[in-house]
Amino acid sequence: MSKSPEEEHPRKAFGWAARDSSGVLSPFKFSRRHEIVGIVTEVGPKVSKFKVGDKAGVGCLVGSCKSCSNCEQDLENYCLKLILTYNSTYHDGTMTYGGYSDMVVVNENFVIRFPESLPLEGGAPLLCAGITVYSPMRYFGLDEPGKHLGVVGLGGLGHVAVKFAKAFGLKVTVISTSPSKEKEAIERLGADSFLVSREPAQMQAAMGTMDGIIDTVSATHPIVPLLGLLKTNGKLVMVGVPEKPLEIPAFSMIFGRKTVAGSGIGGIKETQEMIDFAAKHNITADIEVIPMDYVNTAMERLAKADVRYRFVIDVGNTLKAP
């Protein structure tokens, strides 16, 4: 017989959760063993990497097999037995419940140490958005000073991609369907130029100028015009997830020996590297801090892209048990 959420573990927790297909969140009592940041309150007897009082963070993953070739290369994010922070089954058969609660218990090998200089609230979204754009920049050589990077979409991922790219010393062009975002991209985020992807003349003028492109858009959009912006040997890396399959004529890749690739978050070692880099270069996500009881309204606003650029829930100060 399966155990109830209250019986799974001895540590009692309180949070908010969606418990049916409506997606509406409400108060939830459970026990336990998202991007979550906070202060370590207790450590087990075998823990050596953290102590009580340390600033720490938990990203999208809390477990993996630790023995496959991916895990052995610090690529736990590609482990076939990956355990996500939310709505996954842990090694002991119980559920992972995410971070909308007053506590979380995590194996120390999946916890990120937060530098003292990095604000918890501004750094929290980097554990997903930050590593999602940092990892492909590093892996595909799009972190070399002087290279030209295109960033498609100026949202939660895109605005962080611009910040990391500028910290790497890249020339950055934001590519968007929204002309209204040009001022934001250039004057506030520091992009070097801006392209409106719906303007053929602008796209034509930029053809063959970019070493790589990070595509953060999850709405269905044409890929071929983006490939045209790449230099020979250029790389288009998908980190957004459009619902419909991509349509890419082979010739658009063959002519110029171009690459279309994908990338998803990063392993724990690289995530720590990213957080340390962010602290060194004062990179944080642009956020709106909200109380716990505002979360359903925030979800509605998120569906309408009405946030610049990430919501962060102040669980510690606003979560009240009934």
Read off the pLDDT of residues 107-143 as tens digits, 9 standing for 90 and up.
Answer: 999 999 999 999 999 999 999 999 999 999 999 999 9
Which residue reads 């020996």 in tokens?
Answer: 257
Mean pLDDT on 102-110:
92
Mean pLDDT on 227-254:
96
Residues 169 and 239 in one domain: yes
State the total domains in the chain.
2
Residues 207 and 271 in one domain: no
Cis amide linkage into residue 309, ω under 30° from 0: yes
Residues 156 and 197 in one domain: yes
In a domain, 3, yes or no: no
- Please indicate whether residue 93 or residue 231 has the higher confidence score (pLDDT): 231
Element housing 215 (H / E): strand 210-215
In a domain, 4, yes or no: no
DSSP string, 257-293: T-EEEE-----HHHHHHHHHHHHHTT----EEEE-GG
Mean pLDDT on 84-97:
90
114, 120 Cβ separation under 8 angstroms: yes
Residues 23 and 38 in one domain: yes
Residues 187 and 64 in one domain: no
Domain CATH number, residue 173: 3.40.50.720
User: How far apart are the C-alpha atoms of 177 and 195, rounded to whole Å?
Assistant: 8
Query: Which range marks the domain in which residue 140 is found?
Result: 129-262
Q: In this predicted model, what pLDDT tens digit does every residue of 16-31 receive, in sequence order?
A: 788 788 888 888 776 5
Mean pLDDT on 58-83:
96
In the three-class reduction of DSSP (H, G, I as helix; E, B as strand; rest coil), residue 18 is classed as strand
pTM score: 0.91
Closest CA to 214 of 167, 254, 127, 155: 155
In a domain, 213, yes or no: yes
